[in-house]
Amino acid sequence: MRYYEDIELNKPQRFGSKQVTREEVIDFASKYDPQPFHLSDEIAAQTHFGRISASGWHTASMVMRMVVDYMSSGEGQAGLGSPGVDELRWVKPVYPGDTLSCETEMVEKRRSRNRPEMGITKSKLTCFNQHGEVVMTYIANGLIRTRDPGGVD
Amino acid sequence: MRYYEDIELNKPQRFGSKQVTREEVIDFASKYDPQPFHLSDEIAAQTHFGRISASGWHTASMVMRMVVDYMSSGEGQAGLGSPGVDELRWVKPVYPGDTLSCETEMVEKRRSRNRPEMGITKSKLTCFNQHGEVVMTYIANGLIRTRDPGGVD
């Protein structure tokens, strides 16, 4: 199990491969983001998207699935959940037929002052399409158990 | 149609009502966030969640649906999409059986220097449960057409 003390900063890690299907894009948009340009190629053709693209929240959700699969594939991490995300940016449209992958890099870590049993982390997440173009980025805030609550960095 | 010039700052607007079902929470988590505490009451009981709760990305997606329904229910807005979201915070768990609603308030607007046909906005979104507790907040960045590209504020 990886604890706070095991986290190394500035070591980018690549993971994930997710094929985006037209059926899934339309299914997600119908439920959660039924803006016409996510549902109709004709309407999307009149916007800068050009054709149906995935809801930004769908992209974030597909990335979450890759993150969860990646986290559970290794030795495991003593994670305590996430209080939130900063600077979520939808940089380029995600289209049906795209294949998404991710890179994550821990950029900050500190021990909690009030709760020495946990550490607070910031990691930068980048999602790419099959052309290597960045389609989405965010900074994830994380909480993780310390192995030694009395330790100092 | 509402344009950049029509946006009023600091006028909170309430909207939306979304019943969160156990079936939908598990369906979303199975697809996009299969952390065990989103899928099993037994495992969730060993965490601070206590029982199954919605993925944070599911909550964000349910909120997006309320936003889209609200935007399309009125006179319509000359929106040009969103480049992203800041300070997304999952404040409290969302449980099956909860009823969510939203408040939004425009907190900043300015004309784009490079593209006078559009304005740039920041709005604060707050999602509540049926007890009036805040469950999620974010700051949405928005782009909206100007009625008069030559105008000044």
Provide, as residue numbers in chain B, all residues whose Cβ is less than 8 Å from the Cβ of A38. none
Domains and CATH numbers, chain A: 4-145 (3.10.129.10)
- pLDDT tier for residue A1 given thresholds of 50, 70 and 90: confident
Contact state of A84 with B84 under an 8 Å Cβ cutoff? no
Provide residues of B within 8 Å CB-CB of chain A. 28, 31-35, 55-58, 60-62, 64-65, 68, 82-90
**Chain A: residue whose CA lies nearest to B89:** A84
Quote the ipTM score. 0.94
CA of A130: how far to CAs of A48, A53, A100, A134, in Å? Answer: 20, 15, 6, 10
Which pLDDT belongs to residue B134? 98
Give the integer Cα–Cα distance in Å for B34 and B48. Answer: 17
The per-residue pLDDT for range B98-148, each reduced to its tens digit, is: 999 999 999 999 999 999 999 999 999 999 999 999 999 999 999 999 998
Give the integer Cα–Cα distance in Å for A103 and B112. Answer: 32
Provide residues of A within 8 Å CB-CB of chain B. 28, 31-35, 55-58, 60-62, 64-65, 68, 82-90
Q: How far is CA A7 from the centre of its chain?
A: 18
